[in-house]
Structure 1
């Protein structure tokens, strides 16, 4: 039986980019069952744009992607919650592919799949797009996977079952706005669970993470902060040993 899908998009002052994302969602061969835009204290026309495309728009005035993401997840009613950023553009068969991948994941053997994470391609000219995308995402996956014992969720493009979110949400601290929400949530994956990496589930995304060395350093600093924070409750030696025992 095909599962229903809710799309959750946190957005803060990204109205123009959000319009492109919602337009690509409107052109899907298989439509999402609901689209939730979380307006995170935006000063632009995010709310108006979301409503124009028929999305459910909810306000989250506490600034922070983690809080906005949690608000959207709590409102989602579908079996699967698909988390996207506001600055992405989806291929027309994206939602259709997410349906098929979750069907494959449900039929797989081994650890229980509680997350499906895809990839992204920076919208850059020529070969830069593939090169920079591979380097950026490769560094993220390699660094975080070694501490998690499984693939990390990638905030621009991942999905989780709503029932799993309901099971783990009470164990997650939403009050720290300095953490990366995707990495923080990845630490909630339990020893008998895993994340399915689908590298060819790709969407296009704005290249602004690459703009300026200061922003690049800040993103990695927040990443290491998120890891060290979670190590307090889930140190790597204990986490990896628990996963091997299962």
Structure 2
């Protein structure tokens, strides 16, 4: 299937260079790379074009507006997502394609990050407490696997279903959490702990940066809960899963 890689970027020329270099070394190359320039004043767009990426401009600042613009512009049947500071291993796209080819019911796939660019203590805390806690909490709250935006893939058909449901125009929310909340009950979603990419630890370089991410997380949860209880969403998925299980048991009997 045709694969698009979407990378939102804002003044990320240096880190984008290493991300695109890693994508150029993939065992299964991307069919297109879409870099969404979110109003950069450095040479982010020039770096993207030099590596053969298509540049899409999104003037509305924010990771979700930029990501959504990239998904809308992408032409692939499979949409993958990295941050500008993500460094995927050489088999990243190959493994993603295999996962979707192997399971026609899989709509969204994600994996964790291995943090780089800080101390071992910061890396451990980010991977085990921040990401680990996020995976456990969101999985328990929603009743399905979470999504990590720096390492994400979904079918274009899934995006077309969700693109008008999510809060794509808002800046101060986590796009991956908001997308995970809106996953329909009949959609298949998986978090593969072995599907890893390198991710910069720069958000944890200062307490204010870390606090901002926490504030956005609770803000994303509160915004969506006001619109519909997340427990109701989980219950709807559970009812569908029980119904499918009952049908399968009946067919076997």
Q: List aligned pairs for 1:200-211, cutoff 5 A.
A: 200-211=194-205
Deviation digits for residues 151-176 of structure 1 (CA, Å, limit 9, x no counterpart): 12101001110011112212223222
Cα contact 2:224–2:230 (8 A) shared by 1: no
In the alignment, is residue 175 of structure 1 matched against residue 169 of structure 2?
A: yes
The corresponding residue for 1:109 is none
SS of structure 2 residue aligned to 1:95:
helix
In the alignment, is residue 184 of structure 1 matched against residue 178 of structure 2?
A: yes
**RMSD (Å) for aligned C-alpha atoms:** 1.6
Unaligned runs of 5+ in 1: 107-111
SS of structure 1 residue aligned to 2:193:
strand
Structure 1's 216 and 129: CA in aligned 2 closer, same or farther, altered over 3 A? closer
Query: Separation in 2 of the partners of 1:85 and 1:78?
Result: 18
The corresponding residue for 1:93 is 91
Structure ID, larger Rg: 2
Query: Separation in 2 of the partners of 1:168 and 1:91?
Result: 28
TM-score, normalised with respect to structure 1: 0.92
Query: Separation in 2 of the partners of 1:145 and 1:79?
Result: 26
Query: Separation in 2 of the partners of 1:124 and 1:46?
Result: 20
SS of structure 2 residue aligned to 1:89:
coil
Unaligned runs of 5+ in 2: 241-253
SS of structure 1 residue aligned to 2:111:
strand
In the TM superposition, what is the alpha-carbon distance from 1:125 to its structure 2 partner? 7.0
Q: List aligned pairs for 1:1-246, cutoff 5 A.
A: 3-106=1-104, 112-124=105-117, 128=121, 131-132=124-125, 133-246=127-240
Query: Separation in 1 of the partners of 2:150 and 2:231?
Result: 29
SS of structure 2 residue aligned to 1:88:
coil
In the TM superposition, what is the alpha-carbon distance from 1:129 to its structure 2 partner? 7.3
Cα contact 1:123–1:129 (8 A) shared by 2: no
TM-score, normalised with respect to structure 2: 0.90
Query: Separation in 2 of the partners of 1:64 and 1:124?
Result: 23
SS of structure 1 residue aligned to 2:198:
strand
Structure 1's 126 and 228: CA in aligned 2 closer, same or farther, altered over 3 A? closer
Structure 1: 4+ residue segments shifted above 6 A = none
Query: Separation in 2 of the partners of 1:142 and 1:236?
Result: 15
Query: Separation in 1 of the partners of 2:201 and 2:120?
Result: 14
In the TM superposition, what is the alpha-carbon distance from 1:13 to its structure 2 partner? 0.6
Cα contact 2:6–2:80 (8 A) shared by 1: yes
Structure 1's 4 and 194: CA in aligned 2 closer, same or farther, altered over 3 A? same
Query: Separation in 2 of the partners of 1:192 and 1:232?
Result: 23
The corresponding residue for 2:249 is none
Cα contact 1:114–1:189 (8 A) shared by 2: no
SS of structure 1 residue aligned to 2:56:
strand
